[in-house]
Amino acid sequence: MTLTREQQAEIEAQRASPQPTLRAVSPGMEAHLYTAQPVLDHGFVRVIDYMGDDAAVVQAARVSYGAGTKHVSNDEGLIRYLMRHWHSTPFEMCELKLHVKLPVFVARQWIRHRTANVNEYSARYSILDREFYIPAPEMLAAQSTVNNQGRGATLEGQEAARVLEILKADAARCYDHYEEMISDEGQQGLARELARMNLPANVYTQWYWKTDLHNLLHFLRLRADAHAQYEIRVYAETIGDLVADWVPLSWKAFQDYRVGGATLSATAVDCIRRMLKGEEVTQETSGMSKGEWREFREVTG
C-alpha cells in the first residue's frame, strides 16, 4: 500500500481532534477510524464513518416488539434470536462508510451488490495513477480442473515467472501509452474518457462505499467465503475484522448462524434423520446428486 505523505498527514489530522457527540459511539470502531488497512499490493480499506453499534440493533428491535422483548434477558440473547430467525431490519439500522482502493476487476465483482451507495474515482474526469495489482508469486494459481470457476495448484517455475513478466510489462506499456495519448505536449491530447480504455483490469481505482450492517454481512458471507476469488476475499476479511470490533455481539451471532452453519435441503434433512436412526445412507440411496452428496458429507463431517 502506498499512501502519499499528504494522505498520511490528513489521516493524522483527522485522528488528532476528537469532538463531543451525543450519538452512539463504538469504542472499537473509533480506534480504526481513517486508518488505512493494507490489502493486496497497493490497496486499502479505511473506515470513514459509521452509525450505530450493537445497542442500536437492540434498540430498533425493541421498537418493533415493544415491551414483549423484555423477557429476553439481555442484548446478546436478543441479537442471537434476531440473527437465527433472519430478522433483517434491526441490522439495517447500523451503517458503515468505507474508503476502498482496489483493482478494477475486483471492483467489477463488488459493484454487483446493489444495495449500497458508491462514489468512485472518475477516470472521465481525472487521471488514474500508475498502480497495478501484480499477484504475489504464491497467489498465482492454475485453473482448477474440477471447478470451472476456481483455482487449482500454484503455478511453478518458469510458467509463474513468465506470467509475472507479462502482467508487469503489459501494465507498464499500457500505462505508458495512456500517458502518451492524454499528453497535451506538442499535440491535442486524447480525451481522458477515451484514453482510459487502454488500461488493463488490474489498474487500481478507489471509491467511497456505504452500506448498512445487514447488507454488509450478506456481502461478507458471499465474499469472505472459500469459493470467492482470493482478491476480493482479502478485502472481505479485512472488513470483517473491522466489523468484529465495531459490533462484537452481532459479529459473533453472524459467525455462529451464517458463516459456520449449513443449509440443508429437504432431502438432506431426511438423510440426517435416517442416519440418526442407524441407517447406512450412501449417495445412491440418498436421493442426492454427486455434487450435493459431496457438500452434504462436508456438513456431517
The minimum distance between CB 164 and its own copies, in angstroms, equals 10
Grid coordinates standing for 153? 495448484
Instruction: Say if CB 34 and CB 47 are below 8 A apart.
Output: yes
81 Cβ contact list (under 8 Å, min separation 6): 72, 87
Nearer to its own copies, 3 or 181 (CB): 181
For residue 120, what are the β-bridge partners?
A: 207
The minimum distance between CB 43 and its own copies, in angstroms, equals 13
The catalytic residue among 23, 108, 223, 297 is 223
CB half-sphere exposure, 201, CA atoms < 13 A: 6
What whole-number distance in Å separates Cα of residue 281 and Cα of residue 62?
A: 45
Nearer to its own copies, 153 or 241 (CB): 153
Nearer to its own copies, 180 or 245 (CB): 180
223 catalytic, yes or no?
yes
What whole-number distance in Å separates Cα of residue 134 and Cα of residue 40?
A: 9
What whole-number distance in Å separates Cα of residue 96 and Cα of residue 57?
A: 14
Catalytic positions, please?
Answer: 223
